[in-house]
Structure 1
């Protein structure tokens, strides 16, 4: 009789423990789901921005390294008989090639990361910095697509007495669309890349070929 009572007590205790564990699991699940619905969109947006910016920068830099154009490959400085700068001619064919090759490279790079899965640590939902990377991870999927445009510009920067640095730069604009089951958003950013530069001695002429000009003081 005493043995049966002990077994019954153990069984009741075991049931209580199991019930507590089940309720705890349900509570954690509900907590994560509630906080995930608020936290996930912002987390996806940040990760998508980091991923897209890195992909664009890698593609542009790799393409510029492959083309390996120097200043003299893109621009030609024309001087008069006294050595004064009269004009700067730019090679429109090479300028267009730079823009086309970079756009293609970026499109390929973004296509590689079209499908993404990131893992959000459970501790990130606590909003406590020290616990942000603690606990099991919850997988989240999202997709990246984008459209791109580029512009080659020319800027001039004073570099001393009668000296000017001519910068030829690429302005690359990316419009990234991020989509997931419960989030969609657009990211737009413009990054500038130095293509080539040269120091010009003398006065800056009034015409500089087909590039857009700004004077930087």
Structure 2
């Protein structure tokens, strides 16, 4: 009798895994990506508390107040990139304080069961190949005005550990670090931040 119960339970589990497998993986990935994205934004907010636009970009004006050059502070930008990458990894490694779980009933796809049943814990077990790049863009803000925005693009691979399997996925997030209104023409000698950082790395 006991053997029959165990065999029945085993077949039931196998059936459920095959039936809800795709939904299970999709929901786990969605929850993990949401948590990872939150970590990215939290980290950038924390790092940028110490920096402003003027720490990243130095503008030089002539005697009439016209901007004649804009220079990127490469040392500060490289420091920011390093801090962001390091802190993101630290938050992932110390995520025990974050309760990441999905109710078992949610995986059935049945509305009445959604959010019900025991919790299935999931965990972002690691981050690999974390790549942080800076870029910038100018957009028109009216007559003779432009907004200069500096972005951080985060690209990394995450492994989502569940009680049944490990799922891998890629995270891509682009966040504004700083912005400023530029009055007048944009200096012709301004170089894109991304190009400057890449050139600095290659030297």
Q: Is the alpha carbon distance of 1:43 and 1:160 closer, same or farther for their aligned partners in structure 2, counting shifts above 3 Å?
A: closer
Q: Is the alpha carbon distance of 1:207 and 1:184 closer, same or farther for their aligned partners in structure 2, counting shifts above 3 Å?
A: farther
Q: Deviations over 1:5-33 (max 9, x none)?
A: xxxxxxxxxxxxxx9xx97x986774444
Match of 1:56 among 40, 52, 61: 40
* Equivalent residue, structure 1, for 2:15: 34
Q: Does the CA-based 8 Å contact 2:104-2:120 persist in structure 1? A: no
Q: Is the alpha carbon distance of 1:207 and 1:175 closer, same or farther for their aligned partners in structure 2, counting shifts above 3 Å?
A: farther
* Equivalent residue, structure 1, for 2:52: 70
How big is the shift at 1:46?
2.3
Q: TM-score, normalised by structure 2?
A: 0.76
Q: Does the CA-based 8 Å contact 2:24-2:107 persist in structure 1? A: no
Q: Deviations over 1:58-112 (max 9, x none)?
A: 22222222x2x12222211122344332210111111111111111100100111
Determine whether 1:166 maps to 2:148.
yes
Match of 1:193 among 175, 194, 197: 175
How big is the shift at 1:49?
1.7
2:44 is paired with a residue whose SS is helix
Superposition pairs for residues 55-134 of structure 1, below 5 Å? 55-65=39-49, 67=50, 69-113=51-95, 120-134=102-116
Match of 1:45 among 20, 24, 29: 29
Larger radius of gyration: 1
Residue segments in structure 2 that go unaligned for 5+ positions in a row: 196-203
Distance, in Å, in 2 between the alignment partners of 1:121 and 1:192 is 30
* Equivalent residue, structure 2, for 1:152: 134
